[in-house]
A and B are shown apart, each in its own frame.
Chain A
Amino acid sequence: MSAVSPFQETTDKPLDAEALKRDFPILQQPMSGKPLAFLDSAASAQTPERVIEAEARVYREYYANIHRGVYKLSQQATQAYEGVRAKVRDLINAPDEREIVYVRGTTEAINLVAHSFVRPRLQAGDEILITEMEHHSNIVPWQVLAEETGAHLVVVPIDDNGEIDPADFSARISERTKFASVVHVSNVLGTINPVEDLTRRAHERGVPILVDGAQAVPHRPVDVQAIGCDFYCFSAHKVYGPSGIGALWGRYELLADMPPYQSGGDMIRYVTLAKTEYAKPPQRFEAGTPNIAGVIAMGEGIDYLREVGPAAVARHEQALLAYANERLSQIEGLRIIGNAENKAGVISFVIDGAHPHDMGTIMDQEGVAIRAGHHCAQPVMDHFGLAATARASFGLYNTEADVDALVRGIDKVKELFG
């Protein structure tokens, strides 16, 4: 399809969010009788018509199982399915499409790496390094692994702005550190971590590193070669694609050395009842009939994002963030959680006397969809001594009018609870 790399985005023309919003049928519906201000794209982004259509078209026009039939439908489905690897490759500037493994999402990608890459290298007393701002999906798989092997989890703490200190990251790497796994952009604090620097620091000590890109890929240009990391992953449902599908990128030489994650059909080269020879990556990690239409629709979401332009999206969301910061900081009794210098379009906040859960309900009545809760990052909540926050997060379709609706919702909250 389109051959533009995000790194060749030449125009610095601002995107027209109002027009883009019209690409999303769900955003045309009123909510509680008001225009919907959807401010929860960090949880899951909405889906444009062309992605919905791309997925429907698979079933309508060329659905068949892949890698099997010699008939035309199967060939067409296989080609479309396999073709998405190059789209993912270009989106994150990976060197080789054979390094793109389809997974159910970020969670499965991390579990895959934990199981197939880290576990065989791990002995009792070894260490895995993460940060305090990780999503549960980048904590729990490591805890389980540590529990099973007698390894330890070492955690780089965040400061009260929601940042980690790279020197502290280095200081926590020991002789026993076997792996590091860090989030690119925090889903609660919005912090953009200096992942190039962290990768360099890990590699200086011979430690391989995974970067969780769930909140980065939808919002900014990502270049895994510039980052230099060993694994990178994201979920399509945050990239204007369907739920339950995503991608893991890993260096080919690492993938080639890894045992399968699950076993069954489609991941083998040769099977006798005595022995199985595994397929090469990426097929080795894709046992069973996959989410064929989901992969194809993920590709369409990626095309959509690349046509809008990740750099343009980043600029747009930065401008919205600045606008929201300005408006919210004028509200008495409101405190923003996460004030990193380098921050993406995610704002967590609390209001004196009003619980985030109540805010969520009241805002919903105003047509404003925000997230309230711990955002699957309870250690972050613990750091700030909170049980929950309210969170507004942006996508390419959000406008200043959505932020204005948020502020009206907050006014309503304060009317009731002030």
Chain B
Amino acid sequence: MSDVSDLYQEVILDHNKQPRNKRDVEPHSHEADGYNPLCGDKVTIQVRVQDGVIDDVAFKGDGCAISTASASIMTESLRGLTLEQARDFFHRFHHLVTTDDVQPDSDMGKVAVLAGVRDYPMRVKCATLAWHTLEAALEGQEEISTE
């Protein structure tokens, strides 16, 4: 197994300490709550979609460093993408954090630092919680749980 500092990289620690876009989106067009019953992590995602493009996205909630950093990085990564592009981004992210030896695509930016969770199967749900919740918000579900 890899060294734990491969998981807790600087970028993750920084986003955990100072999460970006941890706030409301007003007005918002979509919202969902996500819950990880295993660890009690909770996240709320609000999105404003305008003309098929993610105009703003933010999160609230409490969770571990992995889930907080992942939510924070997600909000930075998805703004300006079309819904189609966002969904595609999510699927590539999911593949990255669950599959050995997958290299991040060049457009994935900071999201690449989350690839380390693939060595910690118990923690993959932490990294994907915000993303699943966003997907649920966009699909009009109001609540999801990782189980």
User: B14-25, CB under 8 A of A: which get 1 and which 0?
Assistant: 001100000000
Classify chain B: how many residues form its interface, as a range. Answer: 20 to 34
State whether A373 touches B39 (Cβ < 8 A): yes
Chain A residues contacting B120 (CB-CB under 8 Å) are 361
Closest residue of B by beta carbon distance from A355: B64
Closest residue of B by beta carbon distance from A372: B39
- What 9 A-B pairs are tightest by C-beta distance, nearest first? A355-B64, A387-B40, A357-B64, A365-B4, A357-B39, A358-B65, A388-B40, A358-B64, A374-B40
Known A-B contacts A355-B64, A417-B65; the reply to A361 vs B7 at CB < 8 A is yes
User: For the complex, what is the distance from the CA of A412 to the CA of B120, rounded to whole Å?
Assistant: 18
Interface residues in A364-396 by Cβ distance below 8 A to B read 365, 372-374, 378, 381, 387-388
Closest residue of A by beta carbon distance from B38: A373
User: For the complex, what is the distance from the CA of A412 to the CA of B7, rounded to whole Å?
Assistant: 14
Chain A residues contacting B65 (CB-CB under 8 Å) are 354-355, 358, 417
User: Does B90 touch A at the CB level, under 8 Å?
Assistant: no
State whether A416 touches B13 (Cβ < 8 A): yes
CB within 8 A of A387: which of B3, B7, B8, B41? B41
Of B1, B4, B62, the most chain A CB neighbours within 10 A belong to: B4
User: Does B118 touch A at the CB level, under 8 Å?
Assistant: no
User: Does A329 touch B at the CB level, under 8 Å?
Assistant: no
User: Does B114 touch A at the CB level, under 8 Å?
Assistant: no
User: For the complex, what is the distance from the CA of A365 to the CA of B8, rounded to whole Å?
Assistant: 12
User: For the complex, what is the distance from the CA of A58 to the CA of B16, rounded to whole Å?
Assistant: 52
Question: In the complex, how many angstroms separate the beta carbon of A101 from the nearest chain B beta carbon?
Answer: 31
State whether B4 touches A362 (Cβ < 8 A): yes
User: Does A174 touch B at the CB level, under 8 Å?
Assistant: no
Chain B residues contacting A373 (CB-CB under 8 Å) are 38-40
User: Does A32 touch B at the CB level, under 8 Å?
Assistant: yes
User: A312-336, CB under 8 A of B: which get 1 and which 0?
Assistant: 0000000000000000000000000
Chain B residues contacting A361 (CB-CB under 8 Å) are 4, 7, 120, 122-123
Classify chain A: how many residues form its interface, as a range. Answer: 20 to 34
Chain B residues contacting A32 (CB-CB under 8 Å) are 1
Chain B residues contacting A362 (CB-CB under 8 Å) are 4, 8
User: For the complex, what is the distance from the CA of A341 to the CA of B63, rounded to whole Å?
Assistant: 31
Interface residues in A342-367 by Cβ distance below 8 A to B read 353-358, 361-362, 365
Interchain Cβ contacts under 8 Å between A and B, 22 examples: A32-B1, A357-B64, A357-B123, A358-B64, A361-B122, A362-B4, A365-B1, A365-B3, A372-B39, A373-B39, A374-B39, A374-B40, A378-B40, A381-B40, A387-B40, A387-B63, A388-B40, A412-B4, A416-B4, A416-B5, A416-B8, A417-B16
User: Does B126 touch A at the CB level, under 8 Å?
Assistant: yes
Interface residues in A176-216 by Cβ distance below 8 A to B read none
Chain A residues contacting B64 (CB-CB under 8 Å) are 355-358
User: For the complex, what is the distance from the CA of A378 to the CA of B3, rounded to whole Å?
Assistant: 32
Chain A residues contacting B13 (CB-CB under 8 Å) are 416-417
Closest residue of B by beta carbon distance from A31: B1
State whether A387 touches B123 (Cβ < 8 A): no
State whether B4 touches A387 (Cβ < 8 A): no
Chain A residues contacting B16 (CB-CB under 8 Å) are 417
Interface residues in A85-126 by Cβ distance below 8 A to B read none
CB within 8 A of A357: which of B4, B5, B42, B126? B126
User: For the complex, what is the distance from the CA of A361 to the CA of B125, rounded to whole Å?
Assistant: 14
State whether A358 touches B8 (Cβ < 8 A): yes
User: Does B32 touch A at the CB level, under 8 Å?
Assistant: no
User: For the complex, what is the distance from the CA of A387 to the CA of B42, rounded to whole Å?
Assistant: 9
Chain B residues contacting A416 (CB-CB under 8 Å) are 4-5, 8, 13
User: Does B66 touch A at the CB level, under 8 Å?
Assistant: yes
User: For the complex, what is the distance from the CA of A361 to the CA of B8, rounded to whole Å?
Assistant: 10
